[in-house]
Structure 1
Amino acid sequence: MAVVLIRMRLALLRNSLRGDRASWFVLGTGAGLVLAVGTIVVAVLWPSLLPAALAVWLMGWVFGPIFTGGGEVLRPEYFAMIPATPRRMAAALLAGAFASPAVLTTLVALISMVVYGWRFGPLAVLVALAAAMITLVTMVLISRVTVAVFGLLVRSRAAAVLAAFVTGTILALSGNGWALAVAAATADLSLAGTLVRLLPSGWGIAAIESSPPVALGILAASALAVVLLVSAWGALLSRRVTSAARGGVPARRRGPRPFPVVRGMHVVAAKELRTWSRDLIRVHLLSFAFFYAVVFTLLPVSFGWWGMVPFTGLIAVMMGAGASANLYATDGTALWLTLMTPGAERHDVRGRQLAWLLAVGPAAALLSVAGAAASGETWAWPWVAGLFPAVLGGAAGLVVLIAVTSPVPATDPHKRGSNPLNSGADEGGETGLAWLMLIAVPVTALPAAAAILIEPWAGVPVGVVTGALCAWGFGRIAVRRLTSGGTELLTLMKHGSAAGPAAREEETSAPDLPLGHRTAIIVCYCLAWLPLFPQGLVPMFFKLFGVQDRVWFLALYMPDAWQWPTITFMVSVGLLMYGYAILFPMRYKAAETERA
């Protein structure tokens, strides 16, 4: 059975490497190999840091699948009818899980243990080889058990919020984790070094450093842990495939308190507010936006810089807009209820805008005021007061506009799989919508920012007017789009992007980009924000307002004569990367159409 599952996993991987999946596969594998080689370099040059590096790999295996929605290719439900014991099925699925590029990349990283063992002699090298294999199996098993436990416990709002905290913290660390490195340069890391050695990723290091009898004991204990993990995973799989899937939040014993009798858009707003508090996907996305904003802005406080804290609310609004960009698609085919009610499109769009403002606005405003007051940065008050209404209104308009013009089809809520936090939508498409929102929402605040540069408090009325106009104008366009194209939108929700002859003809007439260009476009979308925002626009504001903290901004470390040219260069690089990612596919499609 194990051989069959391995072949099945490889066949699925081989047949799925098309389009964006192939690009992400190349990028992910390349990045993983770079990190693996870096781990080996750590073992050679900084051996004392090797336990910490291996702990990072372990954390990746634990939190990576949760962050990406489960990471399961061979789902246990597919094999529920096979007459096999839970332990045998767990062992077979484990073998199938090893047919993965991530496992091979981790194996390359674990060669660092052999390099480390060379320092202690030939016997330690043999111990390191055994420890590396046991550590690899342990990491994969811990990942699988974590996903299984997460799938069983995630069916509540508390678990959805906890998952949002994990994903928000991981993503914030990936963008602002440099602050911890700066703080760690002056901190006592002896306790942290002891803790990382106690993790399963550090047991092999302990075996290498120990005498032969102790090393054998550690290896035997590690092997026993593997056996226990396989048994635990088998029990979890058995419970998962034999229990009925329960999506959403369990019904309460007492009846819900009814909303007041309302009409028009207020009915939609009341329904949406209940959805924001009960749909686990929405609870997860909204909590993620706030957790990301708080963690992202507080990380630089670890070394004493409070400059980002006043803008916590602004970042929460932008992340909330990015998380809500697929607003209509998350409801699935329920759109037919709106389309079958004459004149309901305007009430539906306006009600969703009102509900989104009520769900995001008050909490984000509280974070803005609290952040500006706690930071002690008095210069930030005009910026917060002027930019917040502009960003909030712009986001409220863009959320519904993007949701009806560029939806990514998702599974109906009642048909979701074992992980209720997975909407079933294409992850690449949803990520693209989120990036689009993160670029478009700040653009709506440019008039307010310009007014603040001229006269600080003049940005407040400009921000209020700009936000109101954006919310009204973009919402009006969304109403027209939903009224005229609602039927096509419902068809897209029901059948996906390939539904209908017109869609198939358009798909045929627009061939995929070459793999190299597609990969370059993904790299540009993922990295263009680095030179544009943190290395370009942020030091520009620092220069304009005389902020002396250089932090990690390259331009501020340059001589005075080179600071503005460096800022200009960084902004230009970021804009060029975004321009290439947006314009090249359009030009390629036009060229291919002319040739045809």
Structure 2
Amino acid sequence: MAVVLIRMRLALLRHALRGDRASSLVLGTVIGLILAVGTVAVAVFWPPLLPAALAVWLMGWIFGPIFTGGGEALRPEYFTMIPAAPRRMATALLAGAFASPAVMITSVALTSMAVYGWRFGLLATLVALVAAVITLITMVLVSRVTVAIFGLLVRSRAAAVLAAFVTGTVLALSGNGWALPVAAATAEDLSWAGALVRLLPSGWGIAAIESSPPAALGILAASALVVVLLVAVWAVLLTRRVTSAARGGVPARRRRPRPFPMVRGVRAVAAKELRTWSRDLIRVHLLSFAFFYAVVFTLLPVAIGWWGMVPFVGLIAVLMGAGVSANLYATDGTALWLTLMTPGAERADVRGRQLAWLLAVGPATALLSVAGAAASGETWAWPWVAGLFPAVLGGAAGLVVLVAVTAPVPATDPHRRGGDPLSSGADEGGETGLVWLMLIAVPVTALPAAAAVLIEPWAGVPVGVATGVLCVWGFGRIAARRLASGGTELLALLKYGSAAGRTVREEEAAAAAPDLPLGHKIAVIVCYSLAWLPLFPQGIVPMFFKLFGVEDRVWFLALYLPDAWQWPTITLMISIGLLMYGYAILFPMRYRAPETEQA
């Protein structure tokens, strides 16, 4: 059975090497190999840092699949009807999991253990090779067990909030985690960190290499026993997962539901939406993620004594809340037909969703804004927070419904979701694109308020309020008209997928339009992934530092240069970021346009 699953995994990988997936896979493989070679270089030039480098790989195996939807090409639900023992099925699925580029890349990185063992002699090198194999198996198994536990535990709102804390913290570390190494570089005693990374499973092989032969044999035997135990635990978790997936993975309600208030119109939709925001595990998780990400992201620079981001914690929470809510209609699935079958209900549905979103996000983010501005002690930030917050909140409330009805990413109906209650079944790339769209579009709505603050600090408050109200009313009006005129096509899209709303001519044109060359695909992905670095951290943020006289240089390149070169460098960085985004967005459109017109 293991051989069959390995062949299935390789076949899925082979068929996935098309279009954008091929570009992403190639780019990810190249980056992974560069990091793997870097790990080997650490073993050669900085041997004491090797346990920390291997711990980073272990963390990648633990948290990476959580952010990528579990990382399962062969889902256990596909094999529920096969008459096989749970442990045999777990072993076969484990073998199939090894047929992936990630395992190959990690194997290259773990050759650093053999390089490290060569320093201690031939016997230590043999121990390192055995330890590298056991470490690789342990990493994959720990990843699978973590994903399985994550999926089984997230069956309640409290667990969904806890999962949001984990994912929000890790993602915030990827953005502002640079502050921790900077703070650690100034610390006096870091011996505890070295001891901690050696206690992780990734450090057991290093301990075996450095030990005497009997001790090394005992460490390897204990590591192999841990592998056997992990396989047994995974078999039990797989059994729980496939049996709970039959009822949607969510336990039945045991308490009697409260009666629904007898209201109509906008109030009825808002009441229904508020209950959905508090009961749907996906929405609870996403909204909690937005709050935790904003708090951790702004507090990380405090480790080096910089409080400049803390006043804007509420604004960042609004931006992330808008990003994770941009697929609002698709998460409800085909329940849209209830709205379409009610004459004239489109406007009430849009306005009710806006009101519910404002009630779910507004009070909490306003409290965060006030608390952040007060705790930071940055008095210059009060006019900015007071002026930008209503503009950003109103712009987000308007754009959420507008994007939800114009660019939805089809998802699985809530009652048909699989074993992972936090997976909506939507295309992850499409949902990520909506998040980036909101992160760019929502700040644009606050530009008038920002300009007013620059002219007269407290003049931004009325401008921000007016802008926010106008965005809520105007974008909501457009969304309601769009829903009324194209609701049938939207329902077909949510029910049948992206091909449902296309005509025959559009299908032929889409089939005739060629894909981008591989080099340009990789360039587009690189631009999308890295354009934010020169635009925001190295361009816009130091620009505000210069405007408001903030003297902390932190890690901004322009502020380390002489005064005559600071503004040109800031302008150059912003230009590079805009050019990268322009290339990533416009080049594919320009490349495909002539061929599509001919088709």
Q: TM-score range by the shorter chain?
A: over 0.9
Identify the residue that residue 386 of structure 2 maps to in structure 1: 385
Letter of the 2:315 counterpart = L
Shift of 1:428: 0.4
Deviations 1:135-165 (A, max 9, x none): 0000001111111112211121122112111
Measured on the aligned residues, the alpha-carbon RMSD in Å equals: 1.3
Q: Matched residues in 2 for 1:268 and 1:242: separation?
A: 35
Letter of the 1:325 counterpart = A
Identify the residue that residue 55 of structure 2 maps to in structure 1: 55
Q: Matched residues in 2 for 1:318 and 1:368: separation?
A: 13
Q: How does 1:20-419 map to 2 (within 5 A)?
A: 20-187=20-187, 188-243=189-244, 245-247=246-248, 250-419=251-420
Q: Matched residues in 2 for 1:10 and 1:248: separation?
A: 29
Q: Matched residues in 1 for 2:249 and 2:461: separation?
A: 41
Q: Matched residues in 2 for 1:215 and 1:431: separation?
A: 46
Identify the residue that residue 485 of structure 2 maps to in structure 1: 484
Shift of 1:593: 3.0
Deviations 1:540-594 (A, max 9, x none): 0000110000001010011111101100000000000111111112211222235
8 Å CA contact retained: 1:386, 1:464: yes
Q: Secondary structure at the match of 2:332?
A: helix
8 Å CA contact retained: 1:248, 1:278: no
Q: Secondary structure at the match of 1:110?
A: helix
Shift of 1:235: 1.8
Letter of the 2:38 counterpart = G
Between 1:104-113 and 1:154-163, the stretch displaced more is: 154-163
8 Å CA contact retained: 2:249, 2:418: no
Shift of 1:460: 0.5
Q: Matched residues in 1 for 2:372 and 2:257: separation?
A: 35
Q: For residues 59 and 433 of structure 1, do their structure 2 counterparts lie closer, same or farther at Cα, with a shift above 3 Å needed?
A: same
Identify the residue that residue 533 of structure 2 maps to in structure 1: 530
Q: For residues 302 and 261 of structure 1, do their structure 2 counterparts lie closer, same or farther at Cα, with a shift above 3 Å needed?
A: same
8 Å CA contact retained: 1:155, 1:246: no
Q: Matched residues in 2 for 1:244 and 1:487: separation?
A: 31
Shift of 1:511: 3.2
Shift of 1:253: 3.7
Identify the residue that residue 570 of structure 1 maps to in structure 2: 573
Letter of the 2:159 counterpart = A
Letter of the 2:422 counterpart = L
8 Å CA contact retained: 1:310, 1:384: yes
Letter of the 2:117 counterpart = G
Q: For residues 249 and 91 of structure 1, do their structure 2 counterparts lie closer, same or farther at Cα, with a shift above 3 Å needed?
A: closer
Q: For residues 506 and 159 of structure 1, do their structure 2 counterparts lie closer, same or farther at Cα, with a shift above 3 Å needed?
A: farther
8 Å CA contact retained: 1:265, 1:351: yes
Q: Matched residues in 2 for 1:210 and 1:264: separation?
A: 73
8 Å CA contact retained: 2:489, 2:501: no
Shift of 1:240: 2.3
Deviations 1:438-491 (A, max 9, x none): 000000001100111111111001100011111111111101111111000000
Letter of the 1:30 counterpart = V
Q: How does 1:584-595 map to 2 (within 5 A)?
A: 584-595=587-598
Shift of 1:308: 0.4
Q: Matched residues in 2 for 1:240 and 1:107: separation?
A: 29
Shift of 1:496: 0.2
Q: For residues 169 and 454 of structure 1, do their structure 2 counterparts lie closer, same or farther at Cα, with a shift above 3 Å needed?
A: same
8 Å CA contact retained: 1:452, 1:459: yes
8 Å CA contact retained: 1:154, 1:160: yes
8 Å CA contact retained: 2:43, 2:112: yes
Between 1:346-355 and 1:12-21, the stretch displaced more is: 12-21
Letter of the 2:96 counterpart = G
Q: Matched residues in 1 for 2:416 and 2:250: separation?
A: 15
Which one of the candidate residues 529, 552, 555 is aligned to 1:552? 555
Q: Matched residues in 1 for 2:164 and 2:508: separation?
A: 40
Which one of the candidate residues 506, 512, 530 is aligned to 2:515? 512
Q: Matched residues in 1 for 2:60 and 2:468: separation?
A: 40
8 Å CA contact retained: 1:168, 1:288: yes
Q: For residues 394 and 506 of structure 1, do their structure 2 counterparts lie closer, same or farther at Cα, with a shift above 3 Å needed?
A: farther
Shift of 1:239: 2.6
Shift of 1:251: 4.8
Q: Matched residues in 1 for 2:73 and 2:371: separation?
A: 44
Q: Matched residues in 2 for 1:134 and 1:244: separation?
A: 32
Q: Matched residues in 2 for 1:158 and 1:60: separation?
A: 25
Q: How does 1:424-443 map to 2 (within 5 A)?
A: 424-443=425-444
Identify the residue that residue 544 of structure 2 maps to in structure 1: 541
Q: For residues 160 and 582 of structure 1, do their structure 2 counterparts lie closer, same or farther at Cα, with a shift above 3 Å needed?
A: same
Gaps of 5+ in 2: none
**Percent identity for Structure 1 against Structure 2:** 85
Q: Matched residues in 2 for 1:134 and 1:147: separation?
A: 20
Between 1:504-513 and 1:453-462, the stretch displaced more is: 504-513
8 Å CA contact retained: 1:155, 1:248: yes
Letter of the 2:557 counterpart = L
8 Å CA contact retained: 1:155, 1:247: no
Shift of 1:256: 3.2
Shift of 1:50: 1.0
TM-score (structure 2 length as normaliser): 0.97
Deviations 1:66-105 (A, max 9, x none): 1211111111121122222111111111110000000001
Shift of 1:499: 1.8
Q: For residues 550 and 358 of structure 1, do their structure 2 counterparts lie closer, same or farther at Cα, with a shift above 3 Å needed?
A: same
8 Å CA contact retained: 2:244, 2:419: no
Q: Matched residues in 2 for 1:493 and 1:316: separation?
A: 28
Shift of 1:248: 7.0
Letter of the 1:112 counterpart = S
Shift of 1:45: 1.8
Q: Matched residues in 1 for 2:243 and 2:522: separation?
A: 41
Q: Matched residues in 1 for 2:249 and 2:123: separation?
A: 55
8 Å CA contact retained: 1:540, 1:567: yes
Q: Secondary structure at the match of 2:328?
A: coil
8 Å CA contact retained: 2:249, 2:420: no
8 Å CA contact retained: 2:329, 2:404: yes
Q: Matched residues in 1 for 2:254 and 2:167: separation?
A: 32
Q: For residues 472 and 506 of structure 1, do their structure 2 counterparts lie closer, same or farther at Cα, with a shift above 3 Å needed?
A: farther
8 Å CA contact retained: 1:157, 1:249: no
Q: For residues 180 and 246 of structure 1, do their structure 2 counterparts lie closer, same or farther at Cα, with a shift above 3 Å needed?
A: farther
8 Å CA contact retained: 2:61, 2:139: yes
Letter of the 1:151 counterpart = G
Letter of the 2:178 counterpart = W
Letter of the 1:593 counterpart = T
Between 1:316-325 and 1:17-26, the stretch displaced more is: 17-26
8 Å CA contact retained: 1:390, 1:444: yes
TM-score (structure 1 length as normaliser): 0.98
Identify the residue that residue 2 of structure 1 maps to in structure 2: 2
8 Å CA contact retained: 1:86, 1:238: yes
Shift of 1:249: 5.4
Q: Secondary structure at the match of 1:417?
A: coil
Shift of 1:255: 2.8
Shift of 1:500: 5.3
Letter of the 1:426 counterpart = D
Q: Matched residues in 1 for 2:334 and 2:516: separation?
A: 31
